[in-house]
Structure 1
């Protein structure tokens, strides 16, 4: 069994915020965490402006596909990070939960998405540090 922590990032459409966070967690942890993401109402495709904003930092999330949040993913996660998910996210006792209040980048311009991206990056770096994973 893996000793790597598992982190689940959740937002409603799994097309912007949670995909950005997952991209940062994968890149900054160097594979030291298992990263999952999902949404309560997944979009058909990832937000292209989010892809562009991450590409500027050398992180490619273009192959990411929005996924329906799975209860088993919540069970498997050591930390569950929600972003505007509301009551749609299942809660299990004993899990670490954080709700990150972030602007939804859907339909926003690149400058706005950059601000959201940079906020998410700082939060992911802090989370990885708290999990004992060097960022």
Structure 2
């Protein structure tokens, strides 16, 4: 992500146990289908996206870019206005 200008060093994953009692507007799963744990949401989507974990860098970037396109499309559908970042 650093090559796209995102510093993920200040971010950390949360356990699903930490968010189990919350309801979200959207929950997106990525190819786990019925085996995904239940998280309360107004809208549930399952995107069939390959796990990039063991892919070569070029293939990893393709999956990363696919996720970005999907997220941007979802934000647009949800009516979220994105604010351009200053360079």
TM-score, with structure 2 as normaliser: 0.75
CA RMSD of superposed structures (Å): 1.9
Does residue 89 (structure 1) correspond to residue 37 (structure 2)? The answer is yes
| Distance in 1 (alpha carbons) for counterparts of 2:10 and 2:53 | 18
Aligned-partner SS, 1:65: coil
Q: More displaced, 57-66 or 104-113?
A: 57-66
Deviation at 1:81, TM superposition (A): 0.6
4+ aligned runs moved over 6 Å, structure 1: none
Deviation at 1:91, TM superposition (A): 5.1
| Distance in 1 (alpha carbons) for counterparts of 2:15 and 2:31 | 15
Q: Deviations over 1:60-83 (max 9, x none)?
A: 22332222113224x2x1011111
Counterpart position of 1:71? 20
Structure 1 unaligned regions, length at least 5: 1-53
| Distance in 1 (alpha carbons) for counterparts of 2:56 and 2:9 | 18
> Which of the pair has more CA radius of gyration?
2
Distance change >3 Å, CA 64–CA 84, structure 1 → 2: farther
Deviation at 1:101, TM superposition (A): 0.8
TM-score, with structure 1 as normaliser: 0.51
Counterpart position of 2:2? 55
Higher RCO, Cα 8 Å, sep 6+: 1
Mapping for residues 1-135 of structure 1, pairs under 5 Å:
54-69=1-16, 70-73=19-22, 75=23, 77-86=24-33, 87-90=35-38, 92=40, 95-135=42-82
